[in-house]
Homo-oligomer: A and B are copies of this chain.
Amino acid sequence: MEIKIMKNILDRNQNKANEVRGMLAGKNVIMVNIISSPGAGKTTLLERTCERFGTEFRLGVVEGDVTTDRDAQRLKKYGIPIVVINTEGGCHLDSYSISKVLNFFDLDNLDMLFVENVGNLICPTQFDLGETFKLAVVSTTEGDDKPAKYPMLFREAKAVILNKIDLLPYTNFSLENFRSDLFNLNPGIPLFELSCTGSDGLDSWYKWILEQISNH
């Protein structure tokens, strides 16, 4: 019974996601669904990325949060359009909520729309938003076992950010184990080892984002 209901919910979500994907393709907008644990650094990644590209390209952000608009407040200074979705206890965004907030953006004048999903490694992976691709963010301080323990996200993502690389010396995180588990799940996936609060490794990330926009 519950499985059937869950299937219905997922089917309906998928239909709406397909609609969103088609619409964004028509407008030539890239939508990036950013998924991570709470506190892995999604908002700080967006701060760096908006700093770098906020004037060069037309960016937008959807901030998904259980409650509060704290993340949106942090991004306000970049002068880009931001919409907050408070899920009021919900553990993920879905394609219906995305579909509704797309009206707030001028899609004819947008290159890339970042969606910061709710901090959660599990549920957001199960709900297609109609994104162009998923981006997984994980940080060294969470331990090297995340790809093995939460394989769905790392299998589906188009790229992975390993954040807080500056804290590596203070942890027991094994880069070797992490890479091995990740590439077993998703051979050849682009992996960016960087620090969003410093500058380590950010250039490769910027270069990759530039390629995504240029080749779209």
Q: Give A residues with C-beta under 8 Å from B.
A: 2, 5, 9, 37-40, 65-68, 70, 89-91, 118-123, 126, 139, 141-143, 145-146, 148-152, 164, 166-167, 170-172, 197
Q: Please give me the residue from chain B that is nearest to A41 by CB atom.
A: B143
Query: What are 19 A-B pairs at a CB distance below 8 A?
Result: A2-B9, A5-B5, A38-B142, A38-B150, A39-B141, A39-B142, A66-B122, A66-B150, A70-B148, A70-B149, A89-B122, A90-B122, A91-B122, A119-B121, A119-B149, A120-B121, A141-B141, A167-B170, A170-B170
B38 touching A121 by the CB < 8 A rule? Answer: yes
B91 touching A149 by the CB < 8 A rule? Answer: no
Total copies of this chain within the assembly: 2
Q: Please give me the residue from chain B that is nearest to A149 by CB atom.
A: B68
**A119: chain B residues within 8 A (beta carbon):** 37, 121, 149-150
A120 touching B91 by the CB < 8 A rule? Answer: yes
Report A52 CB to chain B, min CB distance, Å. Answer: 20
Q: Please give me the residue from chain B that is nearest to A118 by CB atom.
A: B122
Q: Please give me the residue from chain B that is nearest to A123 by CB atom.
A: B91
| CA distance in complex: A138, B176 (Å) | 26
A70 touching B121 by the CB < 8 A rule? Answer: no
Report A139 CB to chain B, min CB distance, Å. Answer: 7
**A167: chain B residues within 8 A (beta carbon):** 141, 167, 170-171
Report A86 CB to chain B, min CB distance, Å. Answer: 11
A141 touching B121 by the CB < 8 A rule? Answer: no
